[in-house]
Amino acid sequence: MSGYEAVYRRSIEQPEAFWGEAASGIDWDTAPRTVYADGRWYPDGRLNTCHNALDRHVAAGRGDQPALIHDSPVTGVTRTYTYAELLEETARTAGMLRALGVTAGDTVVIYMPMVPQAVVAMLACARLGAVHSVVFGGFAARELAVRIDHAQPKVVLSASCGIEPSRVVAYKPLLDDALEQAAHRPERCVILQRPQCRAGLAEGRDLDWAEAVAAAEPAGCVSVAATDPLYILYTSGTTGAPKGVVRDNGGHAVALHWSMANVYGAAPGEVYWAASDVGWVVGHSYIVYAPLLAGCTTVLYEGKPVGTPDPGAFWRVVAEHGVRTLFTAPTAIRAIKKEDPSGAFAKKYDLSGLRHLFLAGERLDPDTYHWASDLLGIPVIDHWWQTETGWPIAANCVGIEPLPIKPGSPTKPVPGWDVHVLDADGRDCPPGVEGAVTVRLPLPPGALPTLYRDPDRFARSYLDRYPGHYLTGDGGHFDAGGHLYVMGRIDDVINVAGHRLSTGSMEEVIAAHPDVAECAVIGVADELKGQLPMGFVVLKAGADRDPGEVERELTALVRERIGPVAAFRRAVVVSRLPKTRSGKILRATMRDIADGRPYTAPSTIEDPAALPEIETALKGS
């Protein structure tokens, strides 16, 4: 039995022994005697997550090691914090929060751009045992107000502005508007003044960040129960009642620490870069907590894959800071590929230190995989997980045993995740047959134990459909060798004249066309066949093609590789696809537009002008 197979089998057959051993990688104030009971991990353990991320490394003599590199091409500033410096800044910020009355169990909303103080704010809350809820910087006032009302923070931490490549986004007016709309009134707001746009402060409510921290006495770590919440993260695209994913302290620390060595193959002292945002789960798990728990150096990047200033931005960061592991979304790589199809910008930098490129957040189409793999000459590893799970469900665990890479597959389930593909009756599907991807309970440490203030919705959303299983909401299949293929959300399976077809399979075919940079396929209503697939296509830079000719070529490709049953006859060329700021394509909104239904642009949208372009393209096609 191979290394991976042995480790995986033990994690499923002996989960308490497996995760009991993994817990030894964490410092405990009270070591857990019970590994798992009544649906919770380490229920009698006590610890502090901030201590594990900072204090213990300084105590071990590694205070001079870089902990955080802030690289900000939008301001032209790069700054490195050692573990000792980050600890000092965090302890003082925790002291500032303590002076404002924040204690263990209180909530704090963090509404900030990609600046070091955002990381410090999260760690400072953890230090006090307070529960942070990070709201993506620049979210609309209404969305921020809804989250403030749901989380009911004692304090809001924010900044005067965020900085985009072409504009400065003033945050303070958005925050003021949100507080006007919200029923809940936080006691204080602390505002980080940035020189690009200073904010007016409301007397009696608002404090200047720098002044408040300078006046504070450093705070020590507060011991909390392993089952106490560390943070709430509202899932992107939330409509109606907020859906707040809860993360506990103990299971989270154990799972993330274990994942760094075993999934990512990252060692203490190495530079690890998750090119995401602290407002998303990737930022929580792999910008802030996991790299610091593991004693790595983490990169906080305030910029874009292209336009800050060019498609070589990522490669510059990798080369300058000695990044060993890069983790980003396929959409970032596709954006680079669209602007620099030949990879000329990558060739300007020494990337010899880069060992792995991990991609997650959406399906990695084989064409993008091959482009990145050929360009970099290193393993390009698709892996799959969710906001709810907090860390990977399926991956090529390079720290255990690298397995064969199959383009289109995130390889095999990660130890701890008992993944199944079930049919409508709850039976396991045979290899090659698509069904609902689920995880047999119990979920491993680090996954959500519930939804904040809504346990009934937690059961309804994830547990009720397949008793004894967690429903991921994604569809897919295993192949005969045990590789998992995740083809997209269950609602992205369309019914064409009684045939159930995956839009993800069609996207794979279309993305393989040499002129296509990225694409999305949706099902639109059809009186005769029920639904018909429609493709939206962005062409590569320099691909000056007649849209009608491209459409004919794509139709022929889908017919050849999937068959006439797909009934794919329509492709629309657009300049961009509507996406959330985390890179997910807004397929549901695009379906509404195509079917003529009214729609509202989600608050998470990256570029609101992309949706009207879809409407215009449909009318003209």
Q: What is the tens place of the pLDDT at every residue in 507-556? A: 888 988 999 999 999 888 876 667 788 899 999 888 888 888 888 899 88
In angstroms, the Cα distances linking 618 to 8, 128, 421, 544, 584 are: 48, 53, 36, 20, 21
Residue 10 class from Cβ within 10 Å (0-12 exposed, 13-18 middle, 19+ buried)? middle
Percent share of the chain, pLDDT over 90: 74
In a domain, residue 511? The reply is yes
* Per-residue pLDDT band at 590 (split at 50, 70, 90): confident
* Distance separating alpha carbons of residues 143 and 237, to the nearest angstrom: 10
Instruction: State the pLDDT at residue 498.
Output: 58
Total of domains in the chain: 1
Three-state DSSP at 218 gives: coil
* Distance separating alpha carbons of residues 492 and 487, to the nearest angstrom: 8
Instruction: Please choose, from the candidates 63, 171, 64, 165, the residue with its C-alpha nearest in 3D space to the C-alpha of residue 117.
Output: 171
Instruction: State the pLDDT at residue 500.
Output: 61
- Contact call for residues 568 and 559 (beta carbons, < 8 A): yes
What are the DSSP calls for 105-121, one per residue?
Answer: T-EEEEE--SSHHHHHH
In a domain, residue 26? The reply is no
CATH number at residue 594: 3.30.300.30
In a domain, residue 590? The reply is yes
- Contact call for residues 356 and 264 (beta carbons, < 8 A): yes
Residue 594 class from Cβ within 10 Å (0-12 exposed, 13-18 middle, 19+ buried)? buried
Q: What is the largest CA-CA distance in the chain?
A: 71
Instruction: Please choose, from the candidates 147, 72, 152, the residue with its C-alpha nearest in 3D space to the C-alpha of residue 111.
Output: 147
- Phi first, then psi: what are they for 489, rounded to 5°? -60, 150
- Cα angle value 66/71/73 (rounded, 5°): 165
CA-derived radius of gyration, the chain:
24
DSSP state for residue 603 in the 8-state scheme: T
Three-state DSSP at 54 gives: helix
What are the DSSP calls for 373-410, one per residue?
Answer: HHHH-S-EEE-B--TTTSS-SEE--TTT------TT--
In a domain, residue 480? The reply is no
Structure tokens at 204: 């009696």
Residues 384-388, mean pLDDT to the nearest whole number: 95
Structure tokens at 604: 């998470």
Three-state DSSP at 561 gives: helix
Q: Exposed e or buried b for every residue in 174-213, given b needs 16+ CB within 10 A?
A: bbbebbeebeeebebbbbbbbeebebebeeeebbbbeebb
In a domain, residue 287? The reply is no
pLDDT, one tens digit per residue, over 298-325 is: 999 999 999 999 999 999 999 999 999 9
In a domain, residue 542? The reply is yes
* Per-residue pLDDT band at 2 (split at 50, 70, 90): low
* Distance separating alpha carbons of residues 543 and 517, to the nearest angstrom: 10
* Per-residue pLDDT band at 237 (split at 50, 70, 90): very low
- Domain span holding position 540: 497-620
Instruction: Note the pTM of the prediction, 2 decimals.
Output: 0.86
Instruction: State the pLDDT at residue 505.
Output: 76
pLDDT, one tens digit per residue, over 40-91 is: 999 999 999 999 999 999 999 999 999 999 999 999 999 999 999 999 999 9
* Distance separating alpha carbons of residues 335 and 346, to the nearest angstrom: 14
In a domain, residue 595? The reply is yes
In a domain, residue 592? The reply is yes
